[in-house]
Structure 1
């Protein structure tokens, strides 16, 4: 009967540099504070914030144009005040008509 040969690891898996490199990669990918998962989450958050920044910058630009337009013309300022804030002159009445909600 032949004697059983003990299981022998390939030489690559017993190399200390290979083991060190694998341990380092595992550490970077999963155990470190700034691991790959955290990096992907931070990247997604950065992208979301950049889109918010673009939105707010466009809103600022739009509001700046609207403000310039309102300040340049008294007629437009009066129209804006009447439509947005329901302001009226002393000698006039203001009626606000609210449409009914349909039951459909």
Structure 2
């Protein structure tokens, strides 16, 4: 009976302490509302908040583009820069540098 008189096992003779330890382990790892489950949920919340900020920034950028394209000057500027459109009485010269041509060839 020397095992029961061990000073390290003496606290575990108390049934309330045993129940408390089992309860804490159960709540931390095995329960539906466990600490691990909440940790995963918190990481998901952080990811979703990051996506929310990203989409808010995208919406602001798109609203700015829509506002610019809602005027005649904005439409004309966009057509000239993007599609190289011109008025009937003007000429357009596109200047390409050697490094931009090399980058274009590399992308193809």
State the match for 1:70 in structure 2: 69
- Match for residue 99 of structure 1? 101
Which residue of structure 2 aligns with residue 52 of structure 1? 51
Tell me how far apart the structure 1 counterparts of residues 19 and 59 of structure 2 sit (CA, whole Å): 53
C-alpha distance in 2, partners of 1:28/1:95?
72
Task: Give CA-to-partner distance per residue, 1:70-104, whole Å, 9 cap, x none.
Answer: 20x212112213434x263696998886622388x
Structure 2 length-normalised TM: 0.67
Structure 1 alignment gaps of length 5 or more: none
Could you tell me how far 1:18 is from its partner in structure 2? 1.1
1:88 aligns to 2:90 (yes or no): no
CA distance in 2, matches of 1:90, 1:36: 67
User: Matched residue pairs, number?
Assistant: 96
Q: 2:77 aligns with which of 76, 79, 88?
A: 79
Q: Give the distance between the partners of 1:39 and 1:33, measured in 2 at CA.
A: 9
Secondary structure in 1 matching 2:44: helix
CA displacement 1:32-71 (0-9 Å, x = unmatched): 2332222222211211211110121122122112211220
Inter-partner Cα distance in structure 2 for 1:59 and 1:79: 22
Tell me, in whole angstroms, the C-alpha distance in 2 between the residues paired with 1:60 and 1:40: 30
